[in-house]
Structures are given as structure tokens and as C-alpha cells.
Amino acid sequence: MVEKMVSRIRSLGAKKLSYADRLVLVNSVLNTLHNYWSGIFLIPKCVVKRIEAICRNYLWDGSADFHRVPSVHIKGRSWHDYQPPPDVSWSWKNVCKVKELIKDAYIEDQWAPDSNGFTIRRCYEWLRHRAAPQIWAPVVCNSWNVPKHSLITWISMNNGLNTRAKLASFGYCQEQLCCICESSTENQEHLFFQCEYSQRVLQEIKQWCGFRVDVTMAGLGISGTSMKGLKQQVHCQLWTSCHYHIWFERNNARLNAVITPPIKLAERITAEAKTRILSKIGSSICGQDGVWLRKWNCMVT
């Protein structure tokens, strides 16, 4: 039985399979062979272990014989007190980081948050509820937003955009001036809040919609308190749209040395906003919201 399994693995086709294909082969062929023989004979324990080793080696290495020494991280030590050395892999460091996060959930080695015991789902829910809610989450994750606008804004809120200042801190960029105005260091605070180009774009949008679209964190307070209903939804949509298009123009200036005039960019943003509004409400809205939208030429007559 072992020879038959090894011969299957050593065949020419089996060596060229991908990881997913090897997994299918192990489950559908090798394990089936094992189950067939198990129904006829009582297989010795040493043979079962050999079969498991063959399947495991083939799945991970593509060969029946595994010559590499596996990594041993914990041996004879307590998992709760274990600290990863600096030369381990990124994935193992993240596993250990999660271990540190869930330490508080254990009392005398027992999972405390749920009497039914530990599961991955319960652990995830416990970690998710412990995290402090972000003030920008309802605005960024809004159904009125264009998905790609929400994505760029989400990255921006997590300080993940590769501005020149950030790239310079990694040693990948020597020039740190803003790609658009070339007057100050290009970081997220300057690009969205202080750059003259961004301020002119926001001023043009204000003239169109009648209220200030504040892309700072204070703008989140505006959308959450003083604005309600339709105006709040539109403000969220414009808020994320401005982040996306300003970042788009920054990349356009950096890669193509082309900058769209602020008036033209504001027109593009407002045109997208009109299309988004119409797709959400159609022509059935009335009352004060209807009057408000007619001033923007957003109503279908």
C-alpha cells in the first residue's frame, strides 16, 4: 500500500501539480487508497503513521520524502509565556501578537468570555468588541459612497497612503515636496487639509452644494451631528469622493506631470455626486430635500 502511494506521487504528472491540485490528489486518491485497504486489513499503527507522513510531505513539498527540518518554535515551554525571537517569520510573529491580545480572556487557562469554550469565531468577536470604535467608520462605510472612494479614504484614515514624506522615512524617496503645489512637505495632513489646490477644490464644491465639505476629522462631526437624513448621506459621499480625487490628482501629477484645474476637478466630483444621488433616490423625493436638490440640478423632471 505504501509503495502504491509513493508510486503515484513519483509519477511525472504528480510532481508538477500546484498546492491546490496536490490537496485534491491527497484527498481523492491517496486517502481513498488508504480507506480501501483499511476496510480489508487491520493496518499496523506504524504503517498509518508512515502514510500520514507521506501525504503530509507530498502536500507541503511535492515529494514523498521530506528532507527539510521543520521549524520548532515552542518545545518544553509555556505557550502563554512564550516570546518570539526576532528572526522568526512575519506570520508567526502575528500569531504571537494575537496570543498576547487574548491573554486577558483566560482565567486559570480557561476561556472566560463564553462558558461554551473557545472557538475562532468567539475569539474574533471578543477582539472586535474590545477595539475602540472609529469616529470615521460610519462615514467611510456608507452605502451612498462609491466603493473605490471608500477604500482610498479608509487607507487614508489609517495613515496608509504612500506620500513622499512616508516614502522618505523608508529611504525610498529623496524628494519630499508636495507633487501638486511643491511648497511644503507632502504628508497626508498637507495634501488633504493644507494644500492650496485642495482648498480651492473644496471651495468650488461648497459653492455647488451650499455647505462646507470638511475633509478633516472635524468634518466627521459635521456629518454626524448638524446634518441629518439626505444631507448627511450626501456629505459622506462628497467627503470620501474628495479624498479619492485629490489622491488621484496627486498620483497624476507625480507620474504624468499633469494636474487637472481645481474647477474641472470640482465639476467631476459634483457630477459623480449627482449620478450617485439619482441612483439612490430617483425622482420620487419631495419636500425640503426636493427643494434642496433642485438647487443642485439633481432632480429628474
**Tens digit of pLDDT for each residue in 122-161?**
888 888 777 677 778 888 888 889 999 999 999 988 888 9
By the 8 A CB rule, do 234 and 209 touch? yes
Q: pLDDT (tens digit, 9 = 90+) per residue, 226-256?
A: 556 777 888 888 889 999 999 999 999 999 9
Sorted by where each begins, the domain ranges of the chain are: 2-61, 78-131, 138-295
Cβ burial 154-180 (10 Å sphere, 16+ → b, else e): bbbbeeebebbbbebeeeeeeebebbb
pLDDT tens digits, residue range 55-108? 888 777 777 665 555 567 787 788 778 888 887 878 888 888 888 888 888 887
Q: Could you read off the pLDDT of 268-284 as tens digits, one per residue?
A: 998 888 888 878 776 55
Rounded to whole angstroms, the Cα distance separating 172 from 160 reads 15
Question: Is the Cβ–Cβ distance between 154 and 140 less than 8 Å?
Answer: yes
pTM: 0.59
